[in-house]
Copies of this chain bind each other. A is one copy, B any other.
Amino acid sequence: MGGPGSPLVPGVAATTGPVRIVGAGLLGASVGLGLRRSGVEVTLADPSPTAVALARDVGAGRPAADGDAGPALVVVAAPPDVTAGVVAAELVAHPSAVVTDVASVKGQVLATLRTVGADLTRYVGSHPMAGRERTGPAAALPDLFAGRPWVIVDHGDQGNAPRTDAVLAVRNLAVDLGAVPVTLDAATHDQAVAIVSHLPQLVASLVAARLRDAPPEALELAGQGLRDVTRIAASDPQLWTAILAANAAAVRTGLSALRDDLDVVLDALGRVPSPAGGGAPEGVLSALARTLAAGNDGVARVPGKHGGQRRRYAQVSVLVPDTPGSLAALLTQVGETGVNLEDLAIEHAAGRPVGIADVSVLPEAAARLETELTARGWTVVR
């Protein structure tokens, strides 16, 4: 079996340069890398000369210089707390360029630009829903945006709306980089990311913070559930402080609602009688059950692979020894059966070199896969 091709078509881009990227971090350098692959001219600017040099070295473009031709498109990939100022300055410095930004909160940028009287006919806010736990230009990926939603902000008709060609320039950028354009107004975007991104980030941090003072023996009992819930608590505090501050109102609304639900749980827990003290008063258990059932309902709405409604796949669980090539051998043999692997989760075992691979496949294929894997000597369980 050979390697796969890229899902994109290198060398074909609707974006015409020069593209000027301001902010040579993970996102800016990834935009540059993706565009350079299609031969688009890219210049890079950043307050940090080191960041510019690194981004150049990974192939994201060349450092901007005095005397550069005026850019057709400026992409501002600065931290969220300085984005609006940088966008305003770029609009002034490049009076014929379309300017976009990739900050993860949109309302504040737009409001600030309106306040300072920026030329909003040439500005289109955007937000590619992509990131990594690593930061900086060295972590840039030309395919960082492949398959990810890229929100393009609909500025509405309040103030001066962007020209059609400006909107199309940003849409072309998203598509050239393999992303899926999604149009939302700024307030809807900010409320959406508050719920699906900012709130989970905060809560993961709050749960992880409880582990700071936990005794070592408690951490030894940690399982995959704790790992999953707290994984994103490893994110960069400075970046996230700026994001949360920029979206404070929407995050606060979501967090307040969550706290109201949490208070119901706390109250119910406080009314559970002590051991052997008799049954719980009426309503106590149902308050707990309602919270858990509401969680069932909510998680069922999270889209699965490839967007769309989460599909109920059948899971085939297989024991995998921790030796080189074991998981590959399993997946090769899954492939040999002709069954497509829809998802894969690995449950790690503490203190013992063995794991369980949960292989998700279409329900109609599960029985055959189990039979074939068992016949090949794998420990599969029904």
**Interface contact A229-B200, CB-CB below 8 Å:** yes
A93 to chain B: which residues have CB within 8 Å? none
Distance of A280 Cα from B348 Cα, bound (Å): 44
Distance of A240 Cα from B142 Cα, bound (Å): 44
Distance of A265 Cα from B259 Cα, bound (Å): 11
The answer to whether A69 has its CB under 8 Å from any CB of chain B is no
**Interface contact B335-A295, CB-CB below 8 Å:** no
Distance of A327 Cα from B335 Cα, bound (Å): 9
Could you give, for residues 165-203 of chain A, a 1 whenever the CB lies within 8 Å of some chain B CB and a 0 otherwise? 000000000000010101010001001110111011111
**Interface contact A269-B295, CB-CB below 8 Å:** no
**Interface contact B346-A209, CB-CB below 8 Å:** no
Could you give, for residues 202-227 of chain A, a 1 whenever the CB lies within 8 Å of some chain B CB and a 0 otherwise? 11111111111011011111110111
Distance of A292 Cα from B230 Cα, bound (Å): 12
The answer to whether A321 has its CB under 8 Å from any CB of chain B is yes
Tell me the number of copies of this protein: 2
**Interface contact B209-A291, CB-CB below 8 Å:** yes
Do A244 and B328 contact each other (CB < 8 Å), given the known contacts A195-B210, A295-B209, A354-B146? no
Distance of A376 Cα from B335 Cα, bound (Å): 19
Do A210 and B332 contact each other (CB < 8 Å), given the known contacts A203-B229, A222-B196, A352-B7? no
A197 to chain B: which residues have CB within 8 Å? 221, 223, 225-226
Q: Which of B180, B211, B231 is close to A352, meaning CB atoms less than 8 Å apart? A: B180
The answer to whether A161 has its CB under 8 Å from any CB of chain B is no
Distance of A324 Cα from B4 Cα, bound (Å): 12
Binds B, one of A40-48, A71-79, A104-112: A104-112
The answer to whether A298 has its CB under 8 Å from any CB of chain B is yes
The answer to whether A56 has its CB under 8 Å from any CB of chain B is no
The answer to whether A238 has its CB under 8 Å from any CB of chain B is yes
**Interface contact A297-B212, CB-CB below 8 Å:** yes
Q: Which of B138, B215, B227, B228 is close to A192, meaning CB atoms less than 8 Å apart? A: B215
Do A258 and B206 contact each other (CB < 8 Å), given the known contacts A196-B222, A244-B269? yes
Distance of A233 Cα from B225 Cα, bound (Å): 10
A70 to chain B: which residues have CB within 8 Å? none
A107 to chain B: which residues have CB within 8 Å? 275
**Interface contact A3-B204, CB-CB below 8 Å:** no
Could you give, for residues 351-382 of chain A, a 1 whenever the CB lies within 8 Å of some chain B CB and a 0 otherwise? 11111100000000000000001001111011
A265 to chain B: which residues have CB within 8 Å? 202, 206, 255
A274 to chain B: which residues have CB within 8 Å? 249
Nearest chain B CB to A224 CB, angstrom units: 9
**Interface contact A201-B221, CB-CB below 8 Å:** no
Nearest chain B CB to A374 CB, angstrom units: 9
A138 to chain B: which residues have CB within 8 Å? 382
A220 to chain B: which residues have CB within 8 Å? 149, 182, 303, 307
20 contacts between A and B (CB under 8 A): A2-B376, A7-B353, A142-B381, A146-B354, A195-B211, A197-B225, A204-B229, A206-B295, A207-B298, A208-B297, A208-B298, A209-B261, A233-B298, A234-B295, A234-B300, A240-B292, A244-B269, A245-B285, A303-B350, A305-B322
Q: For the complex of A and B, list the 9 residue pairs with the smallest distance between their C-beta atoms, beginning with the closest.
A: A147-B349, A3-B377, A205-B295, A147-B352, A325-B335, A328-B331, A192-B218, A208-B298, A211-B298
